[in-house]
Structure 1
Amino acid sequence: MVTASILLVFVAGACTTSVDGEPGAKLPITVTNAPKGPVPQGLEKFYSQGLTWDSCDGYAKTDYDRQAMRSKDLQCTHLTVPLDYAKPDGDTVKLGVLRRPARKSSERIGSLVINPGGPGAAGLSTAAALADANDTLADRFDFVGFDPRGVGSSEPNVECLTDQEMDAERADDAELDVTPAGVRKQEDEAKSFGQECEENTKFGPGMLANIGTRDVAKDLDILRSALGDEKLTYLGYSYGTRIGSTYAETFPNNVRALVLDGALDPSQSPVDEVVAQGAGFQKAFDDFVAWCVKQDDCALGKDQNGALKAFQDLVRPLAKNPVQVSDGRRLSYEDATTGVVQALYSEQLWDRLNSGLTGLKQNDGDTLMQLADLYMERDSDGEYSTTQDVFTAVRCVDDPRITDPNEALEVARQYKAAAPFLDDGNPPVGVLDACAYWPVPNTSEPHVPNVPGLPKVLVVSTTNDPATPYEAGVALAKGLGGGLLTYEATQHTAFLQGNKCVDEAGVKYLTDLQLPKEGTRCKP
Structure 2
Amino acid sequence: MSAFRIILLLAVAVQTPANARHLVKTSPVKTTIEWQPCSSTPFRHWFNDVPPPASLQCGYVEAPLNYQKTAKQATHSVRLALTRLPAIGPRKGSVVIIQGGPGRPGINPQLAEKEAALKLQKSYDIIGYDPRGVGQSIPKISCQQTGSEETLLPDENDISGIEQQARNIVDACIKQTGAEVVQHIGTHEAVNDLDTIRQALGERELTAVAYSYGTKVAELYAERFPKKTRALVLDGVVDLSDDYFTQRINQQRGLQQSFTHFSDYCEKNHSCQLSRESNKSVQTYHAMLRKLHSAPFVTQSGYEISSEDVVTLTRNLLPWRERWPELANALRKIDSGTADDQETGLIDENYSPYTDDARMVITCSDTARPNADRQMLRRQSQQINTAASFPNYLLLHEYPLDTCDFWPYPGKDKPHVPVPAAALPPLLFVAQRYDPITPYRNARQMSAAFNSPLITREGDGHTLALTGINRCVDEAVVNYLLMPKKSRHDRSCR
Same fold by TM-score, threshold 0.5 exceeded? yes
- 2 CA distance for matches of 1:263 and 1:119? 13
1:72 maps to which of 49, 54, 78: 54
2:156 matched to which residue of 1? Answer: 177
Q: Deviations over 1:71-98 (max 9, x none)?
A: 1111010111111113343111111000
1:227 matched to which residue of 2? Answer: 201
- 2 CA distance for matches of 1:520 and 1:198? 46
| Alpha carbons 1:463, 1:488 under 8 Å: kept | yes
| Alpha carbons 1:101, 1:141 under 8 Å: kept | yes
1:153 maps to which of 136, 148, 156: 136
- 2 CA distance for matches of 1:99 and 1:461? 27
1:482 matched to which residue of 2? Answer: 452
1:198 maps to which of 174, 177, 187: 174
1:100 matched to which residue of 2? Answer: 85
1:271 paired to 2:255: no
Number of residue-to-residue matches in the alignment: 459
1:314 matched to which residue of 2? Answer: 288
- Please give the residue correspondences for 1:410-425 in structure 2 after superposition, counting only pairs within 5 Å: 410-425=379-394
- 2 CA distance for matches of 1:389 and 1:299? 34
Q: Deviations over 1:425-460 (max 9, x none)?
A: 323524111111113331222222222221100111
- 2 CA distance for matches of 1:388 and 1:186? 17
Distance 1:516 1:374, change over 3 A: farther
Q: Which stretches in structure 2 are left out of the alignment for 5+ residues? A: 1-25
User: One-letter code of the match for 2:195?
Assistant: D
Q: Deviations over 1:54-77 (max 9, x none)?
A: 1213546677x754x621111010
Alpha-carbon distance, 1:489 to partner: 1.5
2:108 matched to which residue of 1? Answer: 125
| Alpha carbons 1:198, 1:439 under 8 Å: kept | no
1:502 matched to which residue of 2? Answer: 473
Q: Deviations over 1:474-518 (max 9, x none)?
A: 112122222211111111112112211111111111000156743
Q: Deviations over 1:393-451 (max 9, x none)?
A: 11111124374343233334433543111113323524111111113331222222222
Q: Deviations over 1:369-390 (max 9, x none)?
A: 332312324xxxxxx4x21111
| Alpha carbons 2:382, 2:399 under 8 Å: kept | no
Alpha-carbon distance, 1:319 to partner: 2.5
2:15 matched to which residue of 1? Answer: none
Alpha-carbon distance, 1:44 to partner: 9.3
* Of 256-265 and 290-299, the range deviating more from structure 2: 290-299
Distance 1:428 1:59, change over 3 A: farther
| Alpha carbons 1:409, 1:428 under 8 Å: kept | no
Q: TM-score, normalised by structure 2?
A: 0.86
Alpha-carbon distance, 1:177 to partner: 2.0
* Of 316-325 and 454-463, the range deviating more from structure 2: 316-325
* Of 81-90 and 319-328, the range deviating more from structure 2: 319-328
- 2 CA distance for matches of 1:168 and 1:343? 30
- Say what the alpha-carbon RMSD is for the aligned residues: 2.6
Q: Which stretches in structure 1 are left out of the alignment for 5+ residues? A: 1-42, 378-383
- 1 CA distance for matches of 2:167 and 2:150? 19
User: One-letter code of the match for 1:398?
Assistant: D
User: One-letter code of the match for 1:330?
Assistant: E
User: One-letter code of the match for 1:197?
Assistant: C
- 1 CA distance for matches of 2:173 and 2:139? 12
- Please give the residue correspondences for 1:131-150 in structure 2 after superposition, counting only pairs within 5 Å: 134-150=117-133
Tell me, what secondary structure is at the counterpart of 2:34? strand
Distance 1:45 1:130, change over 3 A: farther
1:50 matched to which residue of 2? Answer: 32
Tell me, what secondary structure is at the counterpart of 2:170? helix
2:410 matched to which residue of 1? Answer: 441
- 2 CA distance for matches of 1:213 and 1:457? 20
Alpha-carbon distance, 1:296 to partner: 3.2
Alpha-carbon distance, 1:467 to partner: 1.0
Identity %: 31
Alpha-carbon distance, 1:130 to partner: 5.0
- 2 CA distance for matches of 1:370 and 1:522? 33
2:63 matched to which residue of 1? Answer: 81
User: One-letter code of the match for 1:191?
Assistant: R
1:491 matched to which residue of 2? Answer: 461
Tell me, what secondary structure is at the counterpart of 2:431? strand
Distance 1:153 1:513, change over 3 A: same
Distance 1:79 1:332, change over 3 A: same
Tell me, what secondary structure is at the counterpart of 1:420? coil
1:373 maps to which of 336, 348, 351: 348
1:521 matched to which residue of 2? Answer: 492
Distance 1:165 1:371, change over 3 A: farther
| Alpha carbons 1:147, 1:154 under 8 Å: kept | yes
1:111 matched to which residue of 2? Answer: 94
- 1 CA distance for matches of 2:489 and 2:322? 29
| Alpha carbons 1:270, 1:400 under 8 Å: kept | no
